Amino acid sequence: MFILSVAALLATPARANEHAPAARLTVVPDGEQLFDLMTGETTLPDGGTIIDTETGVELRAAWIRYVEGERIEARDAVADIDAGRISTPELTIDVPALRAEATAGVTLEREGLTVTADAATVLFAPGLVRFDAPTSEQPLMRGAALLLVAHSGDAVLLGPYAFEDGPLTLQDDREDARLQLRPTRAEDGSLRYRAANEVDADLWEELEPIR
Amino acid sequence: MTRPSSAWTAPTPSRRRSAAHAAAVHAAAWMTLLLLAIPTTSAFAQGDAESPADFAPFGAAPYDLAPQALALATPIGAPCAAVGGEVRLAGVGNARFDRIELDGDSGDARLWGGVCIDATIVGAVLRAEEVRIFDLEGDPRLQVEDAVLDLGAWRLAVRRLNGSVTALTLTEVHLLAPGLIGSAEAGSISADGAELSGAVLATDAWLFQAERITVAAEVITLHAPVAVPCRCDRPRYHLSGSEARVRFEGGDATLLRPALHAASLRLPLGDRFDLVGGELDTAVPLRIRADRNLGTVVEWHARDARGPRLTLGTVSEPSRGPLLDLQIEGDGANVRLQHDPRGPVLTASQRHELHPRLAVTGFSEANLRGARALLRSGAHLSASTPRASLPLGGTDGLVLSAQLRATLGAELAAEPVSDGGLGPAGPRFPASLTAELRLPLAAAGRLALDAELEGAFTPGTLPPIPAEAGAWRGSYTLRPSYQVSVPVAGSELRFSAAYLRHAPLGVGPFAFDAVSERSRLSGEATLAGKPFGVTEATASLRAEWRLAPEPPGPQRLGASASVTVPLGSGFRLQASLASELAGLIGGPDGADWWQAGLNLQGGADLQADARVRFGVTDGVLRDADLAARVPIDLPVNANDPNALQGVRLAPYLAADFAPWLRGEGPPTLSAHGLRVRIVDCCGTVTLGYLRDGDGTAFEVGVSLPDLWRDGRPPEGPVDPGDLPEDWPDRYGDEP
Strand blocks (E) in B25-107? 85-89, 93-97, 99-103
Question: Which pLDDT value is given to residue B149?
Answer: 87
Residues B100, A171: C-beta atoms closer than 8 Å:
no
Residues B101, A192: C-beta atoms closer than 8 Å:
no
Question: Which pLDDT value is given to residue B20?
Answer: 25
Cα B512 to Cα B525: distance, rounded to the nearest angstrom: 36
Residues A172, B85: C-beta atoms closer than 8 Å:
yes
Backbone angles phi, psi at B662, to 5 degrees: -80, -5
Q: Which of B88, B104, B140 comes nearest A194 by C-beta?
A: B104
> Would you say how long chain B is, in residues?
735
Q: Which of B84, B102, B140 comes nearest A194 by C-beta?
A: B102
The answer to whether B646 and B678 are in contact (CB under 8 A) is yes
Residues A186, B84: C-beta atoms closer than 8 Å:
no
C-alpha triplet A75, A80, A82: angle, nearest 5°: 135
A189 vs B: CB within 8 A: no
Q: pLDDT confidence of A16, banded at 50, 70, 90?
A: very low
Question: Which pLDDT value is given to residue B453?
Answer: 96
Residues B90, A168: C-beta atoms closer than 8 Å:
yes
C-alpha triplet B119, B125, B128: angle, nearest 5°: 105
Cα B434 to Cα B453: distance, rounded to the nearest angstrom: 6
Cα B446 to Cα B449: distance, rounded to the nearest angstrom: 10
Q: Which of A168, A184, A196 comes nearest B105 by C-beta?
A: A184
Question: Which pLDDT value is given to residue B280?
Answer: 42
Q: How far is Cα of residue A27 from the mean position of the Cα atoms in its chain?
A: 20
Per the model's pLDDT, the better-predicted residue between B70 and A82 turns out to be A82
Specify the 3-state DSSP secondary structure of B703: strand
If you measure CA to CA, which chain B residue comes closest to A170?
B87
Question: Nearest CA to B181 among B278, B61, B56?
Answer: B61
- Give the H/E segment covering residue B260: strand B259-262
Q: Which residues contact B43 (CB under 8 A, 6 or more apart)?
A: none
Q: Which of B88, B99, B101 comes nearest A169 by C-beta?
A: B88
Q: Which residues contact B420 (CB under 8 A, 6 or more apart)?
A: none
Cα B484 to Cα B523: distance, rounded to the nearest angstrom: 12
DSSP code per residue over A13-32: HHHHHHS-GGGTEEEEESS-
Q: Which of A167, A170, A194 comes nearest B85 by C-beta?
A: A170
Residues A194, B86: C-beta atoms closer than 8 Å:
no
Q: What share of chain B is helix, strand, coil (3-state, %, to 5)?
A: 5, 60, 35
Question: Which pLDDT value is given to residue B346?
Answer: 95
If you measure CA to CA, which chain A residue comes closest to B91?
A167
Q: What is the mean pLDDT of chain A?
A: 84
Residues B87, A171: C-beta atoms closer than 8 Å:
yes
The answer to whether A29 and A2 are in contact (CB under 8 A) is yes
Residues A192, B85: C-beta atoms closer than 8 Å:
no
Cα B709 to Cα B520: distance, rounded to the nearest angstrom: 60
Cα A13 to Cα B699: distance, rounded to the nearest angstrom: 103
Q: Which of A184, A197, A199, A200 to mutate to test the interface with B (most CBs of B within 10 A)?
A: A197
Cα B456 to Cα A131: distance, rounded to the nearest angstrom: 99
Of the segments A181-195, A197-211, B439-453, which one has the largest average pLDDT value? A197-211
Cα Rg of chain A (Å, integer): 18
Residues of B in contact with A169 (CB under 8 A): 87-90
C-alpha triplet A194, A197, A200: angle, nearest 5°: 75
- Give the H/E segment covering residue A201: helix A201-206
Using an 8 Å CB-CB cutoff, list residues of chain B that contact chain A: 84-92, 99-105, 107, 109, 133, 136-137, 140
Specify the 3-state DSSP secondary structure of B15: helix
The answer to whether B357 and B384 are in contact (CB under 8 A) is yes
Question: Which pLDDT value is given to residue B541?
Answer: 92
If you measure CA to CA, which chain A residue comes closest to B102?
A195
Cα B214 to Cα B309: distance, rounded to the nearest angstrom: 30
Residues A167, B101: C-beta atoms closer than 8 Å:
no
The answer to whether B215 and B243 are in contact (CB under 8 A) is no
If you measure CA to CA, which chain A residue comes closest to B95?
A170
Question: Which pLDDT value is given to residue B721?
Answer: 42
Residues within 8 A of B (CB atoms), A 103-142 only? 139
pLDDT along chain B (735 residues), means of 10: 29 28 27 26 29 36 42 73 79 83 86 85 85 85 88 85 86 82 87 85 78 84 82 66 75 75 70 59 53 71 65 79 87 91 93 92 92 90 89 74 93 81 88 92 85 94 84 94 87 92 92 90 91 79 90 82 69 68 62 57 55 70 78 73 75 88 88 83 72 70 44 37 40 36
Cα A193 to Cα A206: distance, rounded to the nearest angstrom: 19
User: How close B128 comes to chain A (CA, Å)?
Assistant: 18
User: How close A34 comes to chain B (CA, Å)?
Assistant: 51
* CA B600 vs CA B555, B562, B576, B613, B627: distances in Å: 23, 9, 6, 7, 10
